[in-house]
Amino acid sequence: MTTNATTTETEIALLGGTGEIGRALALRLGRDSDYALTIGSRDERKASEAAEDYRSRLRDRGVEPHLGAAENVDAAADADVVVLSIPPYYADETVETIAPGLDDETILVSPAVGMQRDEDGLHYHPPSAGSVIEMIADVAPDDVPVVGAFTNLSGERLADLDVEIETDTLLLGDDEDAKETVATIADSIRGLRPLDVGPLTNATEVEALTPLLINLARYNDDMENVCVTFH
Amino acid sequence: MTTNATTTETEIALLGGTGEIGRALALRLGRDSDYALTIGSRDERKASEAAEDYRSRLRDRGVEPHLGAAENVDAAADADVVVLSIPPYYADETVETIAPGLDDETILVSPAVGMQRDEDGLHYHPPSAGSVIEMIADVAPDDVPVVGAFTNLSGERLADLDVEIETDTLLLGDDEDAKETVATIADSIRGLRPLDVGPLTNATEVEALTPLLINLARYNDDMENVCVTFH
C-alpha cells in the first residue's frame, strides 16, 4: 500500500456520493490526492456501501484512501468543502437541510446542470435564478461561498480509472479564495485542468455546455462520454 | 504558384467577407481548398479591396486562390453555399435582401451568435426564435436549407495563417445533404474537424459556447482567442 503525494488538512464531503459524478470524484481524488473524503447520502447505509466499494477498488490499485461515509447532513457539517454531486432538483432542498451545520469556513461546490430532453436532444433548462449554481447561492447561508466546478465532466468516463483523462473543468465563483481552494482540489486529479471563467453570473454558458456534450455523443458514434479541452 | 489539391465545382459566397470570420474563412479556404470563393459586402468596393488583400496574402504563400468579389446580393445569387459572416443583428435583413436570388440548390450557413456584455463578461442573448440560426431559418425561403457552422471559431486566430489550428466546429441543420456539403467544406480547412450536433433546435447550446470562450480568454491570461476540442 502507498499513500498519496498530496498532503492536506482539507476535508471534502461528496454529498450524493453514491451517484455517477460523486463516484468519479471519490475514485479520482482517492487515487490521486490525499484529501480526506466522506461519501454522503440521504441514506447512511448506502453511503457506507459505496465507500466500501470505492475503498476496495482503490486498494486493488495499491492505494489506501482516506474515505469515510456519513448521512449527508453529518458529512457536510464535518467538511471544509461540500460537493453537491446531486441532481439539480434536489439541490435547494439539500442545501437547506445542511445549512445549519455550515459556517463561513465551508465551501459549497456544485457540478449540477438543469436539462430537459426533447426528441432532438438535451437542452439547457436553467432555473429562474438563471443557473443552478446561482440558485444554490440564493439558498445557501450568506457567509458560505459557492463555487461551480466539475460541471461538464463525464462521470462515467472519470469513474473508469483505467482511462487516462486530459480535460478541463471550468470554475465559477464570487469568492476568489474559495475558488482557489477548489482549483487546488481539481488540479490534484491527474489530467484535469481547472480554468477560471469568472463570477457566478457567468454560469449559464458553462452549464449549457453539458447538454451540448451529450448531444455530441448522440450524433457521433465515436464520441461517448465527451470531454472538452480549451486551448 | 501552386493550385490546391481539393477540386470542386462548389462556389462559396462569404457575405460580410470583409469582417473577422469572413477574412479567416477566405484565407483558410483560399489556402487549403480549391473552392471558388466570392467576398461579399454591402459595398462592392470594400469587397474588392478585401479580396485583393486576401489574394495578395495568399500569393505571398505561393497560392493562387479562386477569389472574387461582389456586392452581397450578387455574390449570393451566384453561389451554391452562402456563408452569412455578418453580425447577428444584420442577419435577418441580409437574408431578406438576398432571398430573391436564392433557390433550393443554395445552402445558407451562419456562424452568428447573439451576445450581450455586462461587467462580468459576455452572455448569450438569443433572439426570440431561440437561436440566431433558427431566426435565419425562419426568414429564409422555405426550400433553402440552413446550416449552422464555424460558430465558435476565433476569426482572429484563424486569420493568422502562421497559426496551425487543431480545433472542432459544430454543425447544425435539418437537411442532412446540406449539412454534409458544409462538413466537406469545413473539413477542407487543415486542422478543422466538423462534428454533427443534430438539427437546428439544438443550436442554443452551440451558440452559448461563443461567449463562454470569450469569458475564458478574459479570466485566463494565456488563453487569447480560445479554440475548443471535443474528445
Residue B6 has pLDDT above 90, yes or no: no
Average pLDDT for chain B: 95
Domain assignment of residue A174, yes or no = yes
Please report the pLDDT score of residue A9 as a whole number: 82
Please report the pLDDT score of residue B3 as a whole number: 45
B171-175: average pLDDT:
98
* CA atoms in the 13 A half-sphere facing the CB of A204: 23
Q: How many domains would you assign to chain B?
A: 1
- Alpha-carbon B72 to chain mean position: 14
* Signed CA dihedral, A71, A77, A83, A89: sign only: positive
The ipTM is 0.94
Q: Per the structure block, which three cell numbers stand in for B78?
A: 451566384
Query: Could you tell me how many CB contacts below 8 A there are between chain A and chain B?
Result: 118
Please report the pLDDT score of residue B9 as a whole number: 82
**Rg from Cα positions in chain B:** 16
Domain assignment of residue B227, yes or no = no
Comparing CA positions, the residue from A180, A39, A105, A157 lying closest to residue B230 is: A157
Residue stretches of chain A with pLDDT short of 50: 1-7
Domain assignment of residue B230, yes or no = no
Domain assignment of residue A226, yes or no = no
Distance CA B69, CA B39 (A): 5
Q: Is the CB of B212 less than 8 angstroms away from the CB of A205?
A: yes
Assess contact for B10 and B35: CB atoms under 8 A.
Answer: yes
Optimal mutation site among A158, A212, A225, interface B, most CBs of chain B within 10 A: A212
- A160 backbone dihedrals φ, ψ, rounded to 5°: -90, 100
Residue B121 — pLDDT band, cuts 50, 70, 90?
A: very high
Of A118, A195, A227, the CB nearest to B231: A227
Structural domain that includes position B142 = 11-219
Q: What is the CATH number of the domain that holds A119?
A: 3.40.50.720
Q: What is the total residue count of chain B? A: 231
Residue A118 forms contact with B (CB below 8 Å): yes
Domain assignment of residue B66, yes or no = yes
Please report the pLDDT score of residue B8 as a whole number: 58
Domain assignment of residue B206, yes or no = yes
Domain assignment of residue B231, yes or no = no
Residue B216 forms contact with A (CB below 8 Å): yes
Q: Per the structure block, which three cell numbers stand in for B160?
A: 493568422
| CA A74 vs CA A68, A70, A96, A97, A220: distances in Å | 12, 6, 14, 11, 43
Domain assignment of residue B1, yes or no = no
Distance CA B161, CA A73 (A): 56
